[in-house]
Amino acid sequence: MLNAIKAELLMRKLEFESEIVESIYLGGGTPSILTIDELRLLIATIYENYNVSKNAEITLEANPDDLTADKIKALSHLPINRLSIGIQSFFEDDLKFMNRAHNAQESKKCLTEAIKYFDNITIDLIYGVPNMTNEKWLENLKIAFEYNVPHISSYALTVEEKTALHNFILKGKVSPLDENVTFEHFNILVEETEKQGFVQYEISNFGKPNYFSKHNTSYWLGEKYIGIGPSAHSFNRMERAWNISNNAKYMEAIEKNKLPLEVEKLTLNNNFNECIMTGLRTIWGISYQKIETEFGACYLQQLKENAQPFIEKGLLEVQMHSFSSSTLVTTKKGKFLADGIASDLFII
């Protein structure tokens, strides 16, 4: 698999020959299971074949149970300068419910070691978990704050069909998710992170100043990116592509010097809807001037008409920056509903 990933990096370098790489994200799976030498090989392959910025953000996604003290120390000697740690919760019963491989003690132990060697750390936390009280959610956040991590990504628990959780709910073994509880947890999250100096720069992402994720921000601002490996997605503003998800078929195709990906040509409507979806999730909002420049006056007019009912309900607002510059953003009340609002602003 490592050889296949390295080969794909070589096969696709011409796609990025005129680009400067500002972010490298080793994730979408659990790359922390790789050895230090294997990680060094992958990173070296990127540096040898792509134009990597001197200030590139290089993130490793990791599970707490993979991050021993020795592993963290060794990682700090690689070009990796940011860790994304899948904590999810600091409580044992939550982790068992979510079928996580690590336990609460491992979460705390790995964070204690990680902050010795890495300044830039983000952790994932999940809210809206059945039987998680507001007090318990507050305690989760309090523990996170004690480690002084500069970035937190926090998501509501969701139920996907054909998963164990979905079956447990159908059989009555687990209570259905309560949207009111999820909403309360979201509001607590926003209030408590703000008290600690975090900026909610995207619906689910909270960063201290100078610690916003370059990688995630590039997605929301519509930057070009390449995804390498099985299931990885790529985007170049004109097309969206994704690699086959089957590991064996992926490696077989690479061995034959073929890229195992499907490509979707993006229409003007596709790009407009993407701009709406990502823009409403961020503090930067949707620039009216950008919409008019990239899509035309008719798209801007349609957006204004579709947005008006949400403005009247206090869910959206227009921020005027100058006579010729204004953006459409969600209000505090509208943030939790951003995805639903965005879908109503789409042009089909």
Ranges of each domain in the chain = 20-220, 233-265, 268-345
Mean pLDDT, the chain, rounded, equals: 93
Q: Under 8 Å CB-to-CB from 176, ≥6 apart: which residues?
A: 169
The closest of 44, 187, 59, 197 to 128, measured between CA atoms, is 187
Which pLDDT score, from 0 to 100, does residue 170 have?
65
Task: Give the mean pLDDT of 322-329.
Answer: 85
What is d(CA 67, CA 111) in angstroms, rounded to the nearest whole number? Answer: 9
Say what the alpha-carbon torsion angle 24, 27, 30, 36 is, to the nearest 10 degrees: 0
The DSSP-derived string for 35-94 is: -HHHHHHHHHHHHHHS-EEEEEEEEEEE-GGG--HHHHHHHTTSS--EEEEEEE-SSHHH
pLDDT in tens, 161-217: 766 665 766 667 666 668 899 999 999 999 999 999 999 999 999 999 999 999 999
CATH number of 20-220: 3.80.30.20
What is d(CA 163, CA 147) in angstroms, rounded to the nearest whole number? Answer: 33
Q: Which CATH architecture has domain 268-345?
A: Orthogonal Bundle (1.10)
Identify the three-state secondary structure at position 247.
Answer: helix
Task: Give the mean pLDDT of 225-243.
Answer: 95
Which pLDDT score, from 0 to 100, does residue 322 have?
72
What one-letter code names the amino acid at 61?
E
Q: Model pTM? A: 0.92
Same fold, 20-220 and 268-345: no
pLDDT in tens, 254-301: 999 999 999 999 999 999 999 999 999 999 999 999 999 999 999 999
Start-end of H helices in the chain: 2-11, 36-49, 69-75, 92-97, 104-117, 134-146, 164-170, 179-195, 214-220, 247-255, 268-280, 288-295, 297-312, 338-345
